[in-house]
């Protein structure tokens, strides 16, 4: 049942606003192109590697977003007597002040011969110095097929955990998870313990347990692995756990959780997420994981997989909560403590439409595809995400151009230098054919030049036709090579002010339920009524976060007891300025923002993604859905006060008017006016809370008038009635 608001005259001052804003960083998935990703943060850099197939390669950057433009550097290629085929899933660890890379590879052209190998580097920088091939790492009592090795450091002892087989030297399904203790970084003590086999009903599509990784927290060790075949959409994560004061070589000390902890999200075309790795934020305060997923709904174990990252939160029972895969192309708040993103000239970082001068049509991803290799052409402006582009400066003076639809970047096919080479969408890989410069040509237009070829983006001869293709060509200074950038404002950082906050999912406003002024009052969504219970003062706290204060009560949005639980309610409370009252408000594209609580790392969310008025506002794991995205529209506090005073005054003056009656009130389809009207022309006008005219009726009647209000949006209004003898105003509610 709807609730009905009164208009209040209370206007609470928002308090002093900080002038300086420390903008929290952001990034967009995918962050790179490799499967089986590994990320670690060390001495100011993220180091990233993954499966290349023929060598060990690495890239580094100061930010996750920066990894997209970082070149892939080969750090090891095989030599004589070393494995030559199928270089899979490298992982890098710092042990005794040296770097070690563990990877899987084969000496033959058959994956049936896969084993695990070790590299060592004494340099403090893993991308300098020399990577020395140590030897194969294996259990001497069970020299069998083995992949996906990782290291657990527990109570001063290192343990090696991997995916292997039961008894055949060559692969014999099912794949299982084993553990052995290590006598040094490249040698296992004899003997292994079986920790997990694919025995649960949801993990036997392909008979695979692989990709084990460990994270420690809250006195426990969590071993998270990938289950099912990577070629299936059922590829997902399962978990074992153990108290960290127990012996990990005793299988009885481990508990296997009965349900998957991370799996496909068809609503954002993220299938088969898995083969992950854990890392911490630069300041060490947050836990994150990187994983690969594909857009292929049937699953895939091929180059369609890309690397994505998102934050881990922790449940009340101490277990990790991985949420669900976040939509690619959606901005997320970057890990805490990241360096600033590079700024570019002449174009500011932001989200734009890129409009062809010759046709006045924007660049468009054909079919709004999120697949690698999708074509790019010009098309009529549809104001859709596949016509919107993140433009981000790189550290080498160029830019990446990323589609808001799917997060892939603009590149020249095969990094060609030829005229008429096609331009497509591809996963970011740091190649020069994915980097662009913007050169002003006058009149607000730019030529966009490839770093790789030095050629210009160009629309093939097609006049003004929809579908005319985007290619590269020698710069000819024609209007098919000139582009206008339309700033969409969606990358503007949040600033202090008074806003109405609108859900993208429901188009309803964030609302102080019942206009309750008490601590603990609930926050819901409701039809916009244009009152101070739906006006929010957004106040910069000077550290990249904001408090959000009700203009009606003067209290701020708050997570009760600083809960870190998904589903915890959002309430209002006295402002203490602690982290559970601070929120990061980050652009997410198309004019919408995510609202992330500083304490919990969870997003402000509409319960059940409901579109109904009255649905509760809670916190939940961020996944980029529409019920977690909000539009901030500035509203005037002065006009609201004037409107409130006018409505209150005119409600009182009706008592001095003749005995007119207005009913029903609240009304739904019709309003009736009855009383002594004297067969004169009657003028009836409906005003909204800002005293703007909404509807007008002119009629002649003796004792009764019927007003049709079916087309009036629900809310609180003033009805002003005037004839030669009477002026009266009434406050009415339309439902």
* Architecture of the domain whose range is 637-734: Sandwich (2.60)
Comparing CA positions, the residue from 347, 419, 431 lying closest to residue 389 is: 347
For residues 64 and 338, the answer to whether their CB atoms sit within 8 Å is yes
The pLDDT of residue 469 is 96
Burial environment of residue 643 by CB neighbours within 10 A (0 to 12, 13 to 18, 19 or more): buried
Alpha carbons 577 and 16: distance in angstroms, whole number: 13
Cα–Cα distance measured from residue 549 to residue 574, given in angstroms and rounded to the nearest whole number = 9
Residues labelled as active-site residues? 36, 210
Mean pLDDT of the chain: 88
Q: Kindly indicate the confidence band of residue 710, based on its pLDDT and cuts at 50, 70 and 90.
A: confident
pLDDT tens digits for 280-298? 999 999 999 999 999 999 9
pLDDT score of 691? 54
Say whether 497-634 and 350-487 share the same fold. Answer: yes
Tell me the CATH class for 497-634. Answer: mainly beta
pLDDT digits (tens, 9 = 90+) for 251-280: 999 999 999 999 999 989 999 999 999 999
Q: What is the pLDDT of residues 452-484, one digit of tens each?
A: 999 999 999 767 899 999 999 999 999 999 999
For residue range 136-183, list pLDDT tens digits in order.
999 999 999 999 999 999 999 999 999 999 988 778 789 999 999 999
Sorted by sequence, the CB contacts under 8 Å of residue 311 that are 6+ apart come out as 286, 287, 288, 332, 335, 601, 622
pLDDT of residue 662: 83
Q: Which of 15-29, 248-262, 625-639 has the lowest mean pLDDT?
A: 15-29
Domain boundaries, the chain: 26-333, 350-487, 497-634, 637-734
Give the pLDDT of residue 666.
Answer: 78
Residue 22 has pLDDT above 50, yes or no: no
19 pLDDT exceeds 90? no
pLDDT at residue 702 in the model: 65
In this prediction, residue 696 has a pLDDT band, given cuts at 50, 70 and 90, of confident
Residue 681's nearest CA partner among 622, 637, 630, 722 is 722
**pLDDT confidence of 491, banded at 50, 70, 90?**
low
Torsion of CA 641, 643, 648, 651, to 10 degrees: 180
CA proximity to 662, closest of 563, 730, 580: 730
Give the pLDDT band of residue 2 (cuts 50, 70, 90): very low
pLDDT of the residue at 725? 57
Banded pLDDT at 724 (limits 50, 70, 90): low
Judged on CB neighbours under 10 Å (0-12, 13-18, 19+), 81 is exposed
**Is residue 451 pLDDT above 80, yes or no?**
yes
Burial class (CB in 10 A: 0-12, 13-18, 19+), 721: buried
Say yes or no to pLDDT of 20 above 70.
Answer: no
pLDDT 10s digits, 186-217: 999 999 999 999 999 999 898 999 999 999 99
Q: Is the pTM of this model over 0.85?
A: no
- Per-residue confidence (pLDDT) for residue 680, from 0 to 100: 67
| 35-83 confidence digits (pLDDT tens) | 999 999 999 999 999 999 999 999 999 999 999 999 999 999 988 778 9
Scan for tokens 């006045």, then name that residue.
360
Q: What is the rounded CA–CA span in Å between residue 220 and residue 246?
A: 9
As given in the structure block, the two tokens for residue 157 are 């002892």
pLDDT value for 6: 29
SS3 713: coil
C-beta separation of 687 from 695 below 8 A: no
CATH among 2.115.10.20, 1.10.1200.10, 3.40.50.1860, 2.60.40.10 for 26-333: 2.115.10.20
Stretch 108-115: mean pLDDT, rounded? Answer: 92
Highest mean pLDDT among 90-99, 164-173, 523-532, 712-721: 90-99
Residues 6+ away with beta carbon under 8 Å from 11? 532, 551, 637, 640, 641
Average pLDDT of 692-714? 78
> Which fold would CATH assign to domain 350-487?
Trefoil (Acidic Fibroblast Growth Factor, subunit A) (2.80.10)
Query: Using 50, 70 and 90 to split pLDDT, how confident is the model at 639?
Result: very low
Confidence of residue 685 (pLDDT cuts 50, 70, 90): confident
pLDDT, residue 306, reads 97
Would you say 36 and 51 are in contact if contact means Cβ atoms under 8 Å apart?
A: yes
State pLDDT tens for residues 423-437: 999 999 999 999 999
Per-residue pLDDT tens for 308-331? 999 998 988 999 999 999 999 988
Q: What is the mean pLDDT of residues 625-634?
A: 91
**CA gyration radius for the chain?**
31
- Residues 343 and 66: their CA atoms lie apart, in Å, by 12
Q: What is the pLDDT of residues 568-599, one digit of tens each?
A: 999 999 998 899 999 999 887 778 899 999 98
């Amino acid at each position: 049942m709807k609730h009905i608001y009164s208009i209040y005259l209370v206007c609470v001052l928002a308090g002093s606003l900080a002038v300086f804003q420390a903008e929290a960083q952001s990034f967009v998935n995918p962050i790179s192109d490799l499967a089986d990703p590994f990320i670690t943060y060390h001495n100011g850099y993220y180091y990233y590697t993954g499966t290349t197939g023929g060598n060990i390669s690495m890239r580094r950057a100061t930010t996750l977003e920066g990894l997209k433009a970082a070149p892939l550097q080969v750090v090891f290629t095989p030599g004589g007597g070393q494995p030559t085929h199928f270089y899979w899933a490298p992982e890098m660890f710092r042990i005794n002040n040296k770097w070690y890379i563990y990877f899987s590879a084969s000496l033959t052209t058959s994956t049936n011969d896969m084993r695990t190998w070790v590299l060592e580097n004494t340099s403090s920088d893993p991308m300098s110095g020399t990577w020395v091939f140590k030897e194969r790492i294996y259990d001497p009592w069970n020299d069998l097929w083995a992949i996906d090795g990782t290291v657990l450091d527990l109570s001063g002892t290192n343990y090696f955990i991997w995916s292997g087989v039961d008894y055949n030297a060559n692969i014999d399904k099912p794949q299982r998870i084993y553990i052995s203790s290590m006598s040094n970084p490249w040698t296992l003590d004899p003997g292994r313990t079986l920790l997990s086999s694919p025995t649960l009903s949801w993990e036997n599509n392909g008979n695979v347990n692989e990709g084990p990784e460990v994270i420690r927290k809250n006195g426990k060790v969590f071993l998270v692995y990938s289950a099912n075949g990577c070629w299936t959409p059922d590829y997902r994560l399962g978990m074992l756990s153990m108290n960290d004061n127990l012996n990990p070589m005793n299988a009885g000390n481990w508990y296997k959780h009965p349900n998957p902890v991370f799996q496909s999200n068809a609503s954002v075309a993220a299938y088969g997420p898995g083969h992950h790795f854990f890392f911490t934020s630069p300041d060490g305060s947050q836990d994150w994981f990187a994983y690969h997923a594909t857009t292929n709904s049937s699953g895939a174990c091929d180059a369609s997989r890309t690397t994505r990252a998102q934050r881990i939160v922790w449940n009340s029972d101490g277990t990790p909560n991985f949420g669900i895969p976040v939509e690619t192309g959606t901005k997320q708040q970057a890990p805490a403590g990241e360096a600033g993103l590079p700024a570019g000239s002449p174009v500011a970082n932001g989200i734009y439409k890129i409009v062809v001068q010759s046709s006045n049509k924007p660049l468009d991803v054909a079919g709004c595809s999120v697949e690698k290799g999708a074509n790019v052409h010009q098309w009529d402006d549809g104001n859709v995400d596949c016509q919107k582009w993140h433009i981000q400066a790189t550290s080498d003076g160029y830019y990446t151009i990323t589609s808001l639809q799917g997060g892939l970047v603009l590149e020249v096919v095969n990094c060609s230098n030829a005229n008429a080479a096609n331009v497509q969408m591809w996963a970011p890989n740091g190649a020069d054919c994915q980097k662009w410069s913007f050169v002003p040509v006058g009149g607000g237009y730019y030529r966009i030049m490839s770093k790789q070829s030095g050629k210009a983006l160009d629309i093939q001869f097609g006049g003004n036709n929809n579908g005319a293709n985007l290619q590269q060509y020698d710069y000819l200074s024609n209007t098919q090579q000139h582009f206008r950038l339309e700033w969409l404002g969606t990358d503007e950082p949040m600033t202090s002010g008074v806003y109405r906050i609108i859900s993208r999912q429901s188009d309803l406003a964030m609302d102080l339920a019942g206009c309750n002024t008490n601590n603990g009052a609930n926050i819901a969504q409701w039809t916009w009524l244009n009152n101070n219970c739906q006006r929010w003062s957004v106040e910069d706290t000077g550290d990249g976060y904001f408090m959000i204060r009700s203009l009606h009560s003067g209290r701020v949005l708050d997570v009760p007891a600083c809960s870190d639980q998904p589903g915890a309610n959002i309430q209002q409370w006295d402002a203490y300025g602690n982290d559970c009252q601070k929120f990061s408000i980050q652009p997410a594209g198309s004019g919408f923002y995510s609202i992330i609580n500083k304490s919990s790392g969870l997003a402000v969310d509409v319960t059940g993604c409901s579109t109904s008025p009255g649905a509760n506002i809670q916190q939940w794991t961020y996944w980029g859905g529409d019920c977690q995205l909000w539009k901030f529209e500035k509203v005037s506090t002065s006009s609201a006060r004037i409107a409130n005073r006018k409505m209150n005054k005119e409600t009182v003056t009706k008592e001095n008017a003749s005995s007119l009656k207005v009913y029903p009130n609240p009304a739904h389809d019709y309003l009736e006016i009855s009383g002594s009207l004297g067969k004169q022309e009657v003028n009836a006008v409906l005003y909204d809370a800002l005293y703007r005219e909404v509807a007008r009726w002119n009629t002649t009647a003796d004792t009764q008038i019927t007003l049709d209000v079916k087309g009036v949006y629900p809310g609180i209004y003033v009805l002003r009635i005037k004839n030669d003898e009477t002026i009266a105003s009434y406050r009415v509610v339309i439902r």
